[in-house]
Amino acid sequence: MQQAHISALELKHADIEARISEETQRPMPDAAALARLKKEKLRVKEAIVGLH
């Protein structure tokens, strides 16, 4: 069960990374959105590390 949860968090982490990449490619990136995504990505990473 825990491995499935870790896998789900890793997928979420990758999705957030892709959204950050998309936002930075825009002509005028939304700094607030980027900050929010980066904080969310960090929370997910901390959750993954906490489960290992």
In the chain, domain spans? 2-51
Q: Quick one: which of 4, 19, 16, 14 has its CA closest to 51? A: 4
28 sits in the region (left: phi over 0; alpha: psi -120 to 50; else beta) called: beta
Rounded Cα gap, residues 48 and 30, in angstroms: 27
What pTM did the predictor assign?
A: 0.89
Q: Is the pLDDT of residue 1 over 80?
A: no
Return mean pLDDT, the chain. 96
pLDDT at 29: 97
Q: Is the pLDDT of residue 3 over 80?
A: yes
Q: Is the pLDDT of residue 52 over 90?
A: no
pLDDT tens profile 17-26: 999 999 999 9
Rounded Cα gap, residues 20 and 9, in angstroms: 16
